Homo-oligomer: A and B are copies of this chain.
Amino acid sequence: MRGYGMRSVGNIGWLEKERPVCGPLDAIVRPTIVAPCSSDVHVAHGGSGPKENLILGHEAVGIVEEVGPYVKRFKPGDLVAVPCVTPNWLSRGVQNFRSFSHDKGPFGSFKFVGEKDGVMAECFHVNQADPNLAHIHEGVAPEAALMTVDMMSTGFHGVELADVGIGEKVVVIGIGPIGLMAIAAAALRGASQIIGVGTRPNATRVALEYGASQVISYKDGPLDEQVFAMTRGKGAHKVIVAGGGPRELAQAVRMARPNGVVSNVNFFDVKDEISFDPLDWGLGMGDKDIRGSFCPGGGKRIQRLINMIEYKRIDPTKMISHRFHGLDAIPEAFALMDRKAPDLIKPIVYID
């Protein structure tokens, strides 16, 4: 079976591997559309995760090819969205009421790329099909459903984690796909003023369509100063961090009001040192929560996001800036993501 991935750190290309075996609770899925993601690029360059012989990709919709004998909700031929986070629901780690993402430790529920081959292949394995897959209803475009499995789920999660309330003022740092979905989610949770932070013209235009009141640039001075100027000196109720690095996180802490939340869904590198000024954090007593979380896992989450598309609450396909066709187009799409082309938001590849 052919899959696109890393032979070793930085050595990216086609791999020939055995077709995965379907366990009794599992499914084998043939992807019909996939989308490379910046995390794939990160892994490919050794940023985290396995270091060799790994098929990349964790965003896919596809057709179920095979299911294990205990699978009840899905059967071969079903069109499904595959969450990028697929917990082991038999683990103890999911039995809490905060997150299903850490089934056996941090990010344990991130199986694709994290601990096994990803989805950019002729077919791929899904653990525990019943709880982890989601049907794509008729009337929902598969490419729209594809946007739910990571981008929409993670971006929305950033806003839910921040507990954005009616009429609140929200800053979203970063207008890549996650940031754009956070902007859309802030609007969908009832924010009033939504300030996006970014520079790319394409993404800026989409940010405004998704509900940003304004988009400001890192280049025009410290973000916190800009935000204070735009909020009558008061700062933001909630700040979603979907881009940037330690400096932007520190600015986020500064610009948050007392009783505010900084909600991070951005991946930090092991080499980043996270630090901030105690005064910005109210000397430890300013009631500014700092939260950081991972894309929620499981099929119900994705089903609910697909419902939002079905009922026309959001059109996530506005983010799709590039469309490719055929398995053989994956390298080109991946290269685009790798070099962060200036007009890029999200590329997708129709496999067939």
Using a CB–CB cutoff of 8 Å, the interface residues on chain A facing chain B are: 24-25, 48, 70, 73, 89-102, 105-107, 128, 130-131, 156, 160, 165-169, 185, 187-194, 213, 241, 249, 258-259, 264-270, 272-279, 281-294, 298-301, 303-308, 310-311, 313
Contacts and interface: CB of A to CB of B under 8 A. Distances in A.
A86 to B, nearest CB: 12
Nearest to A291: B289
B281 A270 contact: no
A36 to B, nearest CB: 20
Given A99-B287, A105-B258, A311-B193, A305 B270 contact: no
A192 B311 contact: yes
B106 A95 contact: no
A77 B96 CA distance: 28
Contacts of A282: 106-107, 292, 294
Main secondary structure of the interface of A (DSSP, over half): loop
Given A287-B292, A289-B291, 9 more contacts: A95-B131, A156-B190, A165-B304, A167-B308, A188-B190, A192-B308, A268-B278, A268-B283, A284-B292
A246 B166 CA distance: 30
Given A187-B313, A286-B292, A259 B90 contact: no
A168 to B, nearest CB: 7
B288 A98 contact: no
A274 B285 contact: no
B268 A167 contact: no
Give this chain's copy count. 4
Nearest to A300: B95
Contact of A292 (B166, B267, B288): B288
A230 to B, nearest CB: 12
Contacts of A191: 313
B168 A304 contact: yes
Nearest to A73: B92
A306 B167 CA distance: 8
20 contacts: A48-B283, A89-B131, A91-B130, A91-B131, A95-B298, A97-B98, A99-B258, A102-B286, A106-B258, A160-B165, A167-B305, A188-B190, A190-B313, A192-B308, A193-B307, A274-B277, A281-B292, A282-B292, A289-B290, A290-B291
Contacts of A266: 284
Nearest to A152: B166
A169 B97 CA distance: 16
A192 to B, nearest CB: 4
A275 B273 contact: yes
Nearest to A156: B166
A130 B90 contact: yes
Nearest to A157: B166
A277 B287 CA distance: 22
